[in-house]
Structure 1
């Protein structure tokens, strides 16, 4: 299980996260929702060791103090916001980079075929430069690259961003499949409807603080939107 205890983080003298305490249970999909500027991506960057933080981040009860590449070796993998594929490399070369961790190299061919089964369009475009892909295809490539690292915990940042509804539906069908396979997933998503449709647990952030933590099945969507849009001054963290 991944756990955060009183985490604060930011950029230089600017603090973004304020005493965030969260737990992400093994085998569940946890959604972190909130408006732009809520601190969601900063949360992921702190978890991946990309920015310094105060407080504790623990994996299976052990504080994470390793470098980012060591966290990936341990099975903590992030699919970043905005895809961030290597545009001048082919689809297959991008996927191969995901298999760089030592524990994944022996199974690279098998994992590649798994990704092509999940995303058939990537197989069709395996020799194309990643920069020639559509936004939806690039999102599939970013997710496939993350899966090539055989994640124990997969952090996915805004997978629906900038995509047509039909592509969003396809991407989230894959996320549902991964959840059914038992992958622990932490999902950042601004679309509350689709986030709640896949999540076991939901956390709402605003202005770097946690305002609500509940099982997805018990969420009052109207109240969630009131908090999301700052129409309710109260906090419902529980």
Structure 2
């Protein structure tokens, strides 16, 4: 399990996150939702060691420290927002980069087969330059590259952003399959309907603070939207 205790983080002198405490239980999907500027991506960047932070980050009860590369070796892997791929490299070369951590190099062929099973379109385009892919295909490639690193915990930032509804449905079908296979997932998503449909736990952020933390099946969508849009004062996070 990944656990955060009183996490603070920001950029230079600007603090963005204020005492965030939450957990990503093993084998479950935990969704972080909130409006633009809430601090969701900053949260994931702090988890990955990309920005300085204060507070504790624990993996299976042990402090998680080190450089970003050390965290990836420990099994914490992030699929960033914006479908970041290496455009001048082929699909398969992009995937191969995901298998670079020492602990998963020996299983590269097996993991590649698994990714191609999850994303058949990537197999069809394995020799194609990543820069020529559609937005949906690039999102699949970014997710596939993350899976090549054999994540213990997979952090996915805004997978539906800018995609057509039919592609969003396909991408979330894959996320549901990963969840059913026992992959621990942290998901940032602005689409509250999708987040509630796939998540075990929901955390609502606004202005760098945690406003609501509950099991997804106990949340009233109208109430969630009121908090999301600041139409209602937030109760203490529970």
Range class of TM-score, shorter chain? over 0.9
| Corresponding position of 2:217 | 217
Work out the CA distance in 2 between the residues paired with 1:64 and 1:156.
19
Structure 1 unaligned regions, length at least 5: none
| Corresponding position of 1:144 | 144
| Corresponding position of 1:131 | 131
Output aligned runs, 1:146-165, within 5 Å. Answer: 146-165=146-165
**1:3-38: per-residue Cα shift (whole Å, max 9, x none)?**
000000000000000000001110100000000000
| Corresponding position of 2:122 | 122
Deviation at 1:236, TM superposition (A): 4.5
Q: Do the aligned partners of 1:213 and 1:236 also contact (CA within 8 Å) in 2?
A: no
Work out the CA distance in 2 between the residues paired with 1:230 and 1:24.
25
Q: Do the aligned partners of 1:32 and 1:40 also contact (CA within 8 Å) in 2?
A: yes
Output aligned runs, 1:144-223, within 5 Å. Answer: 144-223=144-223
- TM-align CA RMSD: 0.6
Output aligned runs, 1:1-238, within 5 Å. Answer: 1-238=1-238
Give the SS at the match of 1:213. strand
**1:123-182: per-residue Cα shift (whole Å, max 9, x none)?**
110011100000000000000000000000000000000000000000000000000000
| TM-score, normalization by structure 2 | 0.99
Work out the CA distance in 2 between the residues paired with 1:234 and 1:96.
45
Q: How many residues align?
A: 238
Deviation at 1:214, TM superposition (A): 0.4
Give the SS at the match of 2:23. strand
Work out the CA distance in 1 between the residues paired with 2:28 and 2:189.
16
| TM-score, normalization by structure 1 | 0.99
Structure 2 unaligned regions, length at least 5: none
Give the SS at the match of 2:172. helix
Work out the CA distance in 1 between the residues paired with 2:173 and 2:187.
14
